[in-house]
Structure 1
């Protein structure tokens, strides 16, 4: 197939959790011979949600020299909205002039692909007569639910926040407790809800939607999107499932450079270790850390646990100091569990850990990147959502995909040690856990099949490129 000429520009927003899958999407374009530029709002610190820290972008650029990274300076404006999501969306919208300048500076632009939270940039593309596509870096289910929510609420005067755990029935999705919808959507009169709805309304203006998922994992949600059931009365553009696009394991120039936790895993039996990690922003309180420790110890199972300092609201988006593990965890815990557990401060190479043969379960915050990484590695998920759409993903993981179980109490003040112990034992010891591992073995196979030449996700990307060529 003859490829379209010109550069594809990707507009990323919302920080590293959205930037990483943008980089993986860029690699698909590179394989098709298309030049790629990623436009990313950047600053030299990480104190603002929605803006990537310059060192993070520099690291990604160094690891991906074939991709051009263009820094969009975040606009300076007074009195940013105190609601984080609203302030972030304002900031991304105010990047439009810089994005327009970038597009005009390029000899030829084949397409603009925008993060779903940057959908306002469709106007820039329209002005310059460039096809614009939306890239959803979360689940198809989360995208479908946010798209359908305004239609759902048009039939009631209530807000989601008034509905408690009342089940919501959306096309192609399992019943969703209203309390598991993102907090930014729970007040229909709030600025956050209105800003999100405004973004969803822009979907109809896009030339297509790229989803970071694969059809086997979310068939009902994908079908509902394609059938237009999620956006009644409005146009739904073509939907392309191109995932699972997850970061590849880090290139290792020398084996001695491997993270120490990987060497520790090498010494553990296959599928014997419970891995606990809550994503790039996930943290839990000091009392909760002690409950987790007691639960892990009581379970008797091996574990690899990434521990960060408890949250400090004044430093939520700053780099946290290294935790004092001995002070945070119960007295004697590290000594008593040293023969079967490893606690790692702050960070571990998650993709490598999940793909290691010793890893048998994954306690996760249910961020979509982490979910896909766990599924692609064939590791059962123990769901512990924290914020954003993570509780929503939890519903899909457990009820629809059937690749995980829930840590009860995540939406209360505390997940108790007894619950940690019980769920670890369930996944690692019980017949239900065995069935879960069988399901994940199939999911791992299907994820790999989706990405090979001729696989469903590769064919979907082929179709997208063909449609893109036809639009020029």
Structure 2
């Protein structure tokens, strides 16, 4: 009997280790997980399968991103039964919850027939309900945290913060997150101000202690105080592995002059002076109102700076309006620009509808600044390319990210919002000019250059992030 048990164990250990990964819906959750997967499969002989919950059939962009990674798209979850006003955090949690039967079926199918042995199940911050399924199959669970270490630190203190808010009747204006600069309550993640969303997030946060570890897409030089605090050994807190920056690294040839002649915006960038162009993009989910598009256009014009602007159709009700909804390509976004704007700015600016290859754009030598919605992936892509920022947060935890990059990392400027809720054209023109021409911009550029060098070092052969990934890989190979 002992011989057969030992033999079976040896057979299992001879199988290739396989890690399951499951992002929440949204490119911002999927992209860093893909980059992490590439490192595991390339350097450590570990198989990876990404299982993807969603609300729609896969897009061409998603299938292209995943073409070199084993992946499974789960059955789409319809959102038709939910109110149109349902917030993004609840839509994501609903999608994961309704996908649990498909997740269980997928794990059962692969674990019962695979030539691999499944050694870890990695979910992102909204996927903790799947821990129970992983436990059924005796698979260790991990969290892949796709946001900042600041937000992760806050997650660990959410129940305590909520209790403090109740005791003070919400009068506490400054929030002190361990290891971070103080944050005004108005800059906390939007969902934390909604009781229903807050309760859902707290339920996820409480499950974090069930994880075997938390994989964090950041690195020590970027958030030193916070990461040092997170790595202190405390009861009920899993070990934290800072493995960032996990971004799509563009080769040196593209950095020099953008070698994709099939893309109009890269060809245009090739003709611009070095460091002269402001890239304006609000991510895959971010949308502006009609009035704000007008102000942004006229502000860019007033700045007299070169710009490349990725514009989408406006949404006057929801700043995350294109996160779950495919942008209406029947309407040309350029039709929503002020009359004559494109003609007046054609010598200094280029407006492209809906999409641009952001990684290649930020790596281009002509780019000198980035006006961003403050999504964490966009910030990290700016860091690895040394591009200073204008922080224009729209939804989710992006206001917290804006505080991080302007007051802690000190690599960005943040425009003031007017009394009417808009960032007005004069403010936009002033901030853009300060970043691209002023002394402030020079200081931010120098600081970003330091972080870029640190980012290159941590992902190098002996870098701290590489060592953290290696530690995880060795642990998973031993399971």
* TM-score after normalising by structure 1: 0.89
Structure 2 residue 473 is the aligned partner of structure 1 residue 465: yes
- Encode CA deviations 1:90-132: one digit per residue, 9 max, x unaligned: 3312322322222222232011011111011111112211111
Query: 1:30: which partner in 2?
Result: 41
Query: 1:442: which partner in 2?
Result: 450
Tell me the distance in 2 between the aligned counterparts of 1:386 and 1:68: 33
Structure 2 residue 328 is the aligned partner of structure 1 residue 320: yes
SS in structure 2 of the partner of residue 170 of structure 1: coil
Structure 2 residue 209 is the aligned partner of structure 1 residue 223: no
Structure 2 residue 26 is the aligned partner of structure 1 residue 18: no
Cα drift, residue 75 of structure 1: 4.9
- Quickly say closer, same or farther: Cα 1:361–1:4, change in 2 above 3 A: farther
- Quickly say closer, same or farther: Cα 1:198–1:378, change in 2 above 3 A: same
Query: 1:112: which partner in 2?
Result: 121
The counterpart of 2:461, out of the listed 447, 453, 459, is: 453
Query: 2:421: which partner in 1?
Result: 413
Contact 2:19 2:120 in 1 (8 A): yes
Tell me the distance in 1 between the aligned counterparts of 2:348 and 2:165: 53
Contact 1:385 1:410 in 2 (8 A): no
- Quickly say closer, same or farther: Cα 1:326–1:75, change in 2 above 3 A: closer
Query: 2:404: which partner in 1?
Result: 396
Query: 1:203: which partner in 2?
Result: 208
The counterpart of 1:89, out of the listed 90, 93, 99, is: 93
Tell me the distance in 1 between the aligned counterparts of 2:430 and 2:80: 50
Tell me the distance in 2 between the aligned counterparts of 1:419 and 1:176: 23
Query: 2:193: which partner in 1?
Result: 186
Query: 2:177: which partner in 1?
Result: 170
- Quickly say closer, same or farther: Cα 1:3–1:302, change in 2 above 3 A: farther
Structure 2 residue 302 is the aligned partner of structure 1 residue 308: no
Correspondence 1:337-356 to 2 at 5 A: 337-356=345-364
Tell me the distance in 1 between the aligned counterparts of 2:331 and 2:244: 35
Structure 2 residue 139 is the aligned partner of structure 1 residue 137: no
Contact 1:37 1:68 in 2 (8 A): yes
Correspondence 1:373-384 to 2 at 5 A: 373-384=381-392
Tell me the distance in 1 between the aligned counterparts of 2:334 and 2:37: 42
- Quickly say closer, same or farther: Cα 1:330–1:75, change in 2 above 3 A: closer
Tell me the distance in 2 between the aligned counterparts of 1:43 and 1:415: 33
SS in structure 1 of the partner of residue 294 of structure 2: helix
Cα drift, residue 432 of structure 1: 1.6
Deviation above 6 Å: which 4+ runs of structure 1?
A: none
Query: 2:51: which partner in 1?
Result: 39
Tell me the distance in 2 between the aligned counterparts of 1:41 and 1:54: 13
Contact 1:24 1:247 in 2 (8 A): yes
Query: 1:50: which partner in 2?
Result: none
Query: 2:20: which partner in 1?
Result: 9
Contact 1:17 1:369 in 2 (8 A): yes
The counterpart of 2:342, out of the listed 328, 334, 337, is: 334
Tell me the distance in 2 between the aligned counterparts of 1:411 and 1:90: 35
SS in structure 2 of the partner of residue 94 of structure 1: helix
SS in structure 2 of the partner of residue 179 of structure 1: helix
Tell me the distance in 1 between the aligned counterparts of 2:316 and 2:424: 22
What CA RMSD, in Å, does the superposition of the two structures yield over aligned residues?
2.6
Tell me the distance in 1 between the aligned counterparts of 2:263 and 2:339: 27
Cα drift, residue 191 of structure 1: 2.1
- Encode CA deviations 1:55-84: one digit per residue, 9 max, x unaligned: 44322233x2xx211122145699547633
SS in structure 1 of the partner of residue 246 of structure 2: coil
Matched pairs, number: 451
Query: 1:73: which partner in 2?
Result: 75
Query: 1:153: which partner in 2?
Result: 162
Cα drift, residue 319 of structure 1: 2.6
Tell me the distance in 1 between the aligned counterparts of 2:41 and 2:370: 32
Structure 1 residue runs of 5 or longer lacking an equivalent are 46-52
SS in structure 1 of the partner of residue 166 of structure 2: coil
Cα drift, residue 313 of structure 1: 5.4
- Encode CA deviations 1:170-195: one digit per residue, 9 max, x unaligned: 111111111111221114xx221111
Contact 1:266 1:358 in 2 (8 A): yes
Cα drift, residue 298 of structure 1: 1.5
Query: 1:238: which partner in 2?
Result: 239
